[in-house]
Every structure is written in structure tokens, then in C-alpha cells.
Amino acid sequence: MIDTTPLWNEETFTAKLRGVGSIAYHDKHPFHVLMNEGKLLPEAIRGWVANRFYYQRCIPQKDAAILANCPLRSVRRIWIHRITDHDGEGTNEGGIESWLRLGSACGLSPDDMIGELHLLPGVRFAVDAYVNFARFQPWPVSIAASLTEMFAPDLMATRLAAFEHHYTWIDSVGLDYFRSRLTQARRDSGEAMELTLDYCNTPALQQAAVQALSFKCDVLWSVLDAIHGKYGHLIL
């Protein structure tokens, strides 16, 4: 049968993508709510930082998978900075190093974080699923999954304010990752949205893009489910 599904115009497509985040983004997760309200004990904060590190260190692998699948040099030239943003390059230490510094400010050993001493199985499973998604899905669809970055600046601003106000036992220099993402996430989401609108250019790809963004929200939510199950009872 011939697929007669209509192609969404740019406004409708954008609205559908944004609608996913308004419903499913992990800023609404109970663990985030507790954290932003300043209700978590230090052990819970350390548990979150240690487990979220696994996601941070896997982001370059996800982006490398997208690059490996993309035959278009013009797109690769846009996307490639995401790897060095996290891995670092030259004098740029990168986001992974910034997150390790956050861990140190919280009282975590970098060796323990890198060695995955505190990593929960549910976090590993969810993050690995995201990396594999990027490996095996069409590259425009994998790019669409990264559009959770659209909602990150507001989350980062709220998180930064919460940490500065409630968790003053954490050295302020450890919060540099959050500060950098206030601007990086806006840039990255703008790039990803433009590429998604340009290359998810069939009804099937548009629908797959919306589903991919929903999947990514599920990944982030599942990460917090695992963390909440382990540390969510450690409240003031």
C-alpha cells in the first residue's frame, strides 16, 4: 500500500517535538523535585552525581555513532564539536572533566567515578540503550533524540540556583558544568532542531523523530528511576 500520511509543516512538526518535552521531560521526576527543593542529603547528591557521570561519559560515544552513520560532510562538520565539548581538546578540558570536578566537590573520588564503583544496573542499562539507539537508527532520527537539549537550559538554571542556595557544602567551582550548559544547550538544541527539520523530511522520518525524542525522555526518566530507588529516601 502507498503511504498517504501527510508531511507536517515546520510549525506543526516543531510543536509536536516540543510537546513531547512538555509532557515527558525528566525535570518533573520526583528525584529532581526533591533535589531542586533542597531536600536531599549529601549521600543522595553524591549518588546522583556518580550515576549521572555514566551518562556524561557516554555522550561522546553516542555522538560518534551519529557521525559514523552520517554520509554528509556538511552535517558532520556541524555535529563533531559535541565530542570535543565533552571529551575536551587542547586547553578545553571538556564536560567530562567538569563533571569529575563536580564529583570531587561533592566528596567523590574521580577513580571511583571512572571505575563505576557506584553505578547502578538500571542506569547502565538505560544509558547503553541510548548509545545503541544512536548506533542502529537512521542518523536524522538519532539527532532528533538529542532534542531534549531544548529543555535543558531551564533545567540547568533551576538546578544551578538550587545547588547554590541549598547545597552550600559543595564548592562553587564544582558547578561549572551547569554554568557552561546554560549556553551550550541552547546552541546545541538550535543546531539539532535545524538538522531535524531539514533531514526528517518524510512522514515516516517525522514520526520516527517524535518517537525518538519520547524514547530519549524515557531514557532520562529511567536513569532517575534507578537513582531514586537507591537514594530517594535520603531526605532531610
For the stretch 149-187, pLDDT in tens is: 999 888 899 999 999 999 999 999 999 999 998 898 899
Which CATH architecture fits 25-231?
A: Up-down Bundle (1.20)
Does residue 2 carry a pLDDT above 60? no
Task: Kindly report, residue by residue over 26-69, the tens digit of the pLDDT.
Answer: 999 999 999 999 999 999 999 999 999 999 999 999 999 999 99
Q: What pLDDT, on the 0 to 100 scale, is given for residue 195?
A: 98
Average pLDDT over residues 12-21: 96
Contact 102, 175 (CB under 8 A): yes
Q: What pLDDT, on the 0 to 100 scale, is given for residue 91?
A: 84
DSSP the chain: ----PPPPPHHHHHHHHHHHHHHH-GGGSHHHHHHHTT-B-HHHHHHHHHHHHHHHHHHHHHHHHHHHH---HHHHHHHTHHHHHHH-BTTB-HHHHHHHHHHHHHT--HHHHHTTTT--HHHHHHHHHHHHHHHHS-HHHHHHHGGGGGGHHHHHHHHHHHHHHH-TTS-GGGGHHHHHHHHHHHHHHHHHHHHHHHH--SHHHHHHHHHHHHHHHHHHHHHHHHHHHHHTT-B-
Q: What pLDDT, on the 0 to 100 scale, is given for residue 1?
A: 54
Q: What pLDDT, on the 0 to 100 scale, is given for residue 136?
A: 98
Q: What pLDDT, on the 0 to 100 scale, is given for residue 90?
A: 85
Task: Kindly report, residue by residue over 76-122, the tens digit of the pLDDT.
Answer: 999 999 999 999 998 889 999 999 999 999 999 999 999 999 999 99
Average pLDDT over residues 126-152: 97
Average pLDDT over residues 9-23: 95
Task: Kindly report, residue by residue over 191-227, the tens digit of the pLDDT.
Answer: 999 999 999 999 999 999 999 999 999 999 999 999 9
Amino acid at 13: F
Q: What pLDDT, on the 0 to 100 scale, is given for residue 92?
A: 85
Amino acid at 233: H
> What are the residue boundaries of the structural domains of the chain, listed by start?
25-231
